[in-house]
Structure 1
Amino acid sequence: MMELYQRIRKRREELGLSQEELAQKMGYKSRSSINKIEMGENDIPQSKIVQFARALNTTPAYLMGWEDNPDQKEKSPAEAEDLVNGDPELTEYLEELRTRDEMRMLFSITKGATKEDVMRTVAIIEALRREEEGR
């Protein structure tokens, strides 16, 4: 199984991007940061995974190794709007997915989840909220 850093390099090469070009897209000062990431020498903060996925025109789930197709793309807000037929609650949820990286990551990793997986995750989040309220 490929590691995150290997998937980043593979996807960059598939797109024909140089390390310098990816560095620019990511806001790094030089290609050496990308080189170190691709060599597995530098860890990537969780917050950067979504940014890498966008820069590499793929999903965080692909980079993490949770799905195999790097070309799976999310629908544009206009396409998503057509799917929800103006349902205000779904429209609001889709806007959160579009604008909040942490929501996007959570959604991405739950794509293949079973109902039981989702229910366990909800229980964990609720327990964390109760714990915070008790502090």
Structure 2
Amino acid sequence: MTTFHTISIDGLDIFYREAGSRNNPTILLLHGSPTSSHMFRNLMPALADCFHLVAPDYPGFGYSSMPSVDEFDYTFDRLAEVMADFIAAIGLKRYSLYLMDYGGTKHCFPNCLVQCQLAAIGTDIDKPPNPDSWAFGYTQQ
């Protein structure tokens, strides 16, 4: 069963979905743009017998706070800071990441990382898209 929660992080309400037992290995599911944790609504119950799953909505997405661009710095670094604070606040100590196109945030909280699964990472935000740079199924242990 998937449950729904909201937690205050850095003055923002961060919504997240959670499924499975905390006694199981944890997978942190980070959505891409322009989606939300809703994209994992079918995946989470399918994996909940074997894994503990957590899927937050980034600020400005889904059911999380949507501050204006004058109130929040919508950069990868700032999103990574909020996610790092979120991870600490909900007490995740070891986890695997499943990332979508906002996967650049992984570099900001690698200390607890067990494994990283990248999906459709294809662009450097400073350059035009290059199909040769796409990586599927990259695993870091």
TM-score range, shorter chain: under 0.3
Return the index of the structure with the highest Cα Rg.
Answer: 1
Give TM-score scaled by structure 2 length.
Answer: 0.25
Higher helix share: 1
Question: Using CA pairs below 8 Å that are at least 6 residues apart, which structure has the higher relative contact order?
Answer: 2
